[in-house]
Amino acid sequence: MVEFVDIALLVLLGITAFSIIRQKNLFAAVMLAGIYSLLSAGLFVVMDAVDVAFTEAAVGAGISTILMLGTLALVGHSEHQPQHRPILPLFVVILTGAVLVYGTLDIPPFGDASNPAHHHVAPHYLEESEHEIGIPNVVTSVLASYRGYDTMGETTVIFAALVGVLLLLSLGPRPRRVFSNGRWITVAASEKDASEGGAEEAQEDTLQISPEEKTLGDTNG
Amino acid sequence: MFIAATVGVLASMSLAMTRALMGPTVYDRVLAVNTFGTKTVLLIAALGFLTERPEFLDLSIVYALINFIGTIAVLKFFEYRDLGWTRRPEADAE
């Protein structure tokens, strides 16, 4: 029965992939990409990789869909006719795919108890972590103790990415706090600013000070 | 019985996907993806009982949350063209 579910999900996955390629309406392609992610998440669940499936559903169907919609808001909803014949890229993709399939040939069988992954450090973690670390949950002790430095590095990377994204998002056409003439004022986003996204222009010729800020500045001065 | 449920969920998944492929309007497609997410939740739950691991039910509840938040985000994006800003740009200009 699980094989049947696998086959059905893979057939739906193939149909979705070909529809994304053939689809000229980019919004429909984005929505189909969301469906593709949900299907992959279902496949991961069938293969017992529920944590990977979580990530796939949250990132693939959630965040990426929003990011691609944000891109569509900038570039329009329909695909232009390509100016070239993509023969060489197709050849490169087929070649890469063939090499990848060749690489899977000597991978150990799926779910076999004698696979190398189950004989390296996993038995040690399962048997010893309870009195070595003192946490009943093995996954937590692996993440927070055995691979503690690795987790710290990952957290640093995610923090850096978050700071970068927040900096990029703060560039948009919205009210900003600007330090000008020795005090902080709020610069409202103007209509021109919203339509053209010119951040520098807003500061120079369309500077609008909100009333309460102005009175506050006057009493101070 | 769980086999029948799984087959039914897979069939309705393909129907929702057909709507996402054909759907003439934006809202058809958004609704199709939302329905597809719901079907994924049901499929995981049915698979859990089918393979005698009923704890998969908890996973599918989290999927329902992701699906809900995702649909809200897509629709909010359509309404405001932005996720961090709760007014329309036109209202700003007035």
Q: How far is A89 from chain B (nearest CA, A)?
A: 26
CA–CA distances in Å: residue A209 to residues A6, A152, A187, A189: 61, 44, 6, 11
The shortest CB-CB distance from A35 to any of B3, B20, B66 is to: B20
Estimate to the nearest angstrom the gap between the alpha carbon of B43 and the chain centroid. 12
Q: Is A42 on the interface with B (CB under 8 A)?
A: yes
pLDDT, position B74: 81
Kindly state the average pLDDT of the residues A210-214: 46
- What are the sequence ranges of the domains in chain A? 2-79, 117-169, 176-220
Paired tokens of A206: 């369309």
Distance (Å, whole) CA A152 – CA A189: 39
**ipTM topping 0.85:** no
For residue A73, pLDDT beyond 70: yes
Residue A211: Cβ-neighbour burial (10 angstroms; 0-12, 13-18, 19+): exposed
pLDDT digits (tens, 9 = 90+) for A11-69: 999 999 999 988 888 888 888 898 899 899 889 988 888 888 888 888 888 888 888 88
CATH of domain A2-79: 1.20.120.1200
Asked whether the beta carbons of residue A70 and residue B77 sit closer than 8 angstroms, the reply is yes
What average pLDDT does this structure show over A193-212?
Answer: 45
Q: Which of B22, B19, B41 is nearest to B31 (CA)?
A: B19
Structural domain total, chain B: 1
Alpha-carbon distance of A37 to A49, in angstroms, equals 15
**Domain span at B23:** 2-93
Tens digits of per-residue pLDDT, A108-156?
Answer: 887 777 777 777 788 888 888 888 888 887 888 888 888 889 999 999 9
Q: How far apart are CA B40 and CA A42, in angstroms?
A: 7
∠ CA B52-B58-B59, rounded to 5°: 90
